[in-house]
Amino acid sequence: MVNTQAVSLSLGEITEPVMTRYRLGLLLHGLYANKQFQGEPLDGLTRDLPTRADFEFHLNELVRMGILKAHPNFPGKAFRLLGRKEENGEDVACTIDPFCYMSHLSAMAHHGLTNRLPAKLFVSSPAPSQWKAEAEARMKKDLGADYNAYHESGMPRLSRIKFTRIGRMDVHCFNASHRGAYINIRGRTLRVSSIGRTFLDMLRNPELCGGMRHVVEVFEAHAETYRPLITGEVDRNGKPIDKVRAGYLLDEKLGLGNDVIGAWAAFAQRGGSRKLDASGPYVPVWSPKWCLSLNLDG
For 14-70, write each residue's pLDDT tens digit.
Answer: 889 999 999 999 999 998 888 877 777 777 677 888 999 999 999 999 999 999 999
pLDDT above 90 for 89: yes
The beta strands (E) that lie in the chain are given as 18-20, 36-37, 40-41, 68-70, 78-81, 101-102, 120-126, 165-166, 169-176, 182-184, 191-193, 286-287, 292-293
What digits encode the pLDDT tens for the residues 167-211? 989 999 999 777 789 999 999 999 999 999 999 999 999 999 999
Residues facing 68 on adjacent strands: 81
Nearest to 263 by CA among 280, 279, 249, 251: 251
The secondary structure of residue 172, as a DSSP letter, is: E
Q: CA 110, CA 113: separation in Å to the nearest integer?
A: 8
CA distance 142 to 76: 23
Taking CA atoms, 293 is separated from 212, 213, 286, in Å, by 13, 14, 4
Report the C-alpha gap between 68 and 70 in whole angstroms.
7
298 pLDDT more than 50: no
Contacts of 5 (CB under 8 A, 6+ apart): none
Rounded to two decimals, the pTM is 0.91
